[in-house]
Amino acid sequence: MVEIDEKVMNKEVLEMAFDRCIKCSTCKYSYKNFEKSCPSGEKFLFESYWASGRIRIIRGVLNGELDWTDELIDPIFACTTCGACMDSCQAPHADYIVEMIETLRELAVQHIGPAKNQQFLVSRCEESCNPYGEPNSDNEDLKKKYNLPDKAEWVYFIGCTSNYRQQSLRDATLRFLKKAKIDFTLVDEHCCTSPMIRTGQLSIVKDYMNYNIAQIKNTGAKKVITSCAGCYKTLINDFERFGEEMGLEIYHSLELVKQLLDKKKLKFKSGYNKTVTYHDPCHLGRHMGIYELPREIYKQIPDLKLVEMKRNRNFSWCCGAGGGVKIGYPDWAIEISKERLEEAKETGATVITSTCPFCKTNLTDANEAYNFDFEVLDLMEILDKVEIEIEV
């Protein structure tokens, strides 16, 4: 076995590849339902593009049976890391499959580099603190617009996608927090580091984590809220995995909404008379186990009719944007989303909704590219269209 550098994150998970995967193919389809679940495997139809094949690649490169060549780039990086394989696998290593793939990518970056264009995630962050390469916003203008203090109990961690691509979602969240009379503020964010972690590019990850922690703690906040499923998973799981304890309570925006509903502090004064279908974000669903919470909120909105796609909850088909696929394989990312929209069409819904700005972005791109006629909205945007009353 080739010795793994001590600096490699979670090298222990790589060692699971040697004795736990028996190539039973359970990872290829939804467990018991036998619906197709892996965008990568279904697209390329070679074993190396399924989870079992990637585990075999790990064994090969660590055993010295496979050389690091450019031929390995697509099998390693053409994966949304959606976790469908993780959900279906019945072996002892099931919960670690995505971590195994991410760690394999870390090794690949060291030997052959990431997939095409994925390197821009780091270079753009180094230049402007976000993976989109947009001029960095320190959020001071937003603080002035919404009359936010420098010190507060909460920090709204906007996230790069909401701040630079889905500003309607950002603004809807800001308006909701103000209506709810939450004592919150904003900070000068750096990227949460999720895109770099998913693509195995870790050079700036710990620096960015430490920077964000310091910025948040400078406000005196004890709680952080985000409307991004990717930021949510990263702030809770990955910060701890990288040894950066936040010592803060982390909430997704829908968790705050549900708390207000449960305490009878949030009341709806108007309805939303549309048929809606909910797309489970992979980072919120399979990665964090949150499935029923958003559905419970949608069902309480007056006049809203919630209908389910055939594949839902842990069986959901990925939107196609995650794992670096959106930047590395943009055309394929939209193909994946097209399949999701076709499934949504079968429900009769006119609105497809999610709780992740990345999902919203890719579903919107596919909606436009393939001439679907959906309205694509986040939960917070739907709430922004409904008249609400908050009792303090």
**Topology annotation, domain 267-390:** Rossmann fold (3.40.50)
Q: pLDDT for 245-279, tens place per residue?
A: 889 999 999 999 999 999 999 999 999 999 999 99
Fold agreement (120-259, 267-390): yes
| CATH number of this structure's domain 120-259 | 3.40.50.1860
Q: pLDDT for 52-87, tens place per residue?
A: 999 999 999 988 999 999 999 999 999 999 999 999
Quote the mean pLDDT of the chain.
Answer: 95
The pLDDT-based confidence of 1 (bands split at 50, 70, 90) is low
The pLDDT-based confidence of 8 (bands split at 50, 70, 90) is low
| CATH number of this structure's domain 11-111 | 1.10.1060.10
Mark residue 41 as left, alpha or beta (left: phi above 0; alpha: psi -120 to 50; beta: remaining). alpha
Convert 282-304 to b/e letters by CB count within 10 Å (16 or more is b).
bbbbbbbebbeebeebbeebeeb
In the chain, what are the domain boundaries?
A: 11-111, 120-259, 267-390
Please state the rounded mean pLDDT for residues 320-344: 98
The per-residue pLDDT for 330 is: 97
Q: pLDDT for 280-306, tens place per residue?
A: 999 999 999 999 999 999 999 999 999
What element of type H or E holds 224? strand 223-226
Q: pLDDT for 125-165, tens place per residue?
A: 999 999 999 999 999 999 999 999 999 999 999 999 999 99
For residue 335, pLDDT over 70 is answered with yes
The per-residue pLDDT for 375 is: 98
% of the chain surpassing 70 pLDDT: 97
Longest Cα–Cα distance of the chain, Å, equals: 65
The pLDDT-based confidence of 17 (bands split at 50, 70, 90) is confident
